[in-house]
Amino acid sequence: MTTQEATYFLLNKLRTICSDGEASEITDWVMEHLTGSKKAERMIYKHAAITSQEETTLRQYADRLLNHEPVQYILQESWFCGLKFYVDEHVLIPRPETEELVEWIIANCKFPVDTLSILDIGSGSGCIPVSLKRRLRKAEVWSCDISEDALAVAKKNAEKLGAAVNFLQLDFLDRSNWTQLPAVNIIVSNPPYVPEKDKATMQPNVLQYEPHTALFVPDNDALLFYKAIAAFGKEKLKPGGAVYMEIHESLGEATSLLFREQGYQTELKKDMQGKDRMLKAVI
């Protein structure tokens, strides 16, 4: 099988389950991972044969992709803020909308960087705290998660990407654990916020493979984590500090109201698709 034949093999398989654009993007990503060559180089050597092992791996990848397994889990990599993160089934796949949250924090950062302290609630892959530490080198960055498996992934990424982040394993919803966390200038979180009822409309690649504990909250208490973050911020946010959060697109006003009722001033921000997906809260 030549490089060109391998490319068309995967592309045609993927076109049966996704759009041409998505099929092309995934194919390019897989072929680069498989061969170690960029698209331009593969075009030049399109008639060169791939190895038998590469062909076997390609066919295995194709089978998994046709079962809607996310390409990021198959390749165990995902790009976020220009950095390549390791990901597996224990963590959510980093989203472009979350990159916007990180960029918003950096754009609004008015603190002297060498005295800046940041706490990320819900480490996941570590994409938020690691990216912030890489961009704000002198800041002290903390991150916590309830999942030991997720923290193992986050620590691996922090080490690989040269970001000295302080990780803590704890259940943030248990307020007795808050004494373990520092007072900070900035709190950031992309907590679970998808109501259970939304499962019916979710794509199979998300519903079947991504960790449900990082996605879903009870229908009757969808703002569970935001209530805790609002209370925590009143205890641990330093003067002039702010809370930045990713939110459910249909719960922007409800989340904003929750924080205003706790004495915060709030600002809703739309993502690149025009949806209310970010909230800033300042006491």
Q: What does the alpha-carbon distance between residue 255 and residue 149 come to, in Å, rounded to a whole number?
A: 29
Q: Which two tokens stand for residue 89?
A: 């089934």
| DSSP per position, the chain | -BHHHHHHHHHHHHTTTS-HHHHHHHHHHHHHHHHS--HHHHHHTTTSBPPHHHHHHHHHHHHHHHTT--HHHHHT-EEETTEEEP--TTSPPP-HHHHHHHHHHHHH--S-GGG-EEEEE--TTSHHHHHHHHHSTTSEEEEEES-HHHHHHHHHHHHHTT--EEEEE--TTSGGGGGGSPPEEEEEE----EEGGGGGGS-HHHHTTS-GGGTEE-GGGTTHHHHHHHHHHHHHEEEEEEEEEE--TT-HHHHHHHHHHTT-EEEEEE-TTS-EEEEEEE-
CA proximity to 2, closest of 42, 57, 37 = 42
Cβ atoms 118, 185 nearer than 8 A: yes
Domain 82-282, second-level architecture: 3-Layer(aba) Sandwich (3.40)
Q: What does the alpha-carbon distance between residue 230 and residue 243 come to, in Å, rounded to a whole number?
A: 8
Q: What is the number of other CB atoms lying within 10 angstroms of the CB of residue 37?
A: 15
Cα 220 to the center of its chain, rounded Å: 25
Cβ atoms 279, 266 nearer than 8 A: yes
Q: What does the alpha-carbon distance between residue 89 and residue 97 come to, in Å, rounded to a whole number?
A: 20
Q: What does the alpha-carbon distance between residue 188 and residue 20 come to, in Å, rounded to a whole number?
A: 36
Domain locations in the chain as residue ranges = 3-67, 82-282
What pLDDT sits at residue 36? 93
Strands 83-85 and 78-80: antiparallel
Q: Which two tokens stand for residue 153?
A: 């992934």
- Block mean pLDDT (10 aa), the chain, length 283: 96 96 97 94 93 96 97 97 97 96 93 87 98 95 98 98 98 97 97 92 92 92 96 96 96 97 97 95 94
- State residue 273 phi and psi, 5-degree precision: -100, 10
CA proximity to 244, closest of 31, 64, 63, 99 = 99
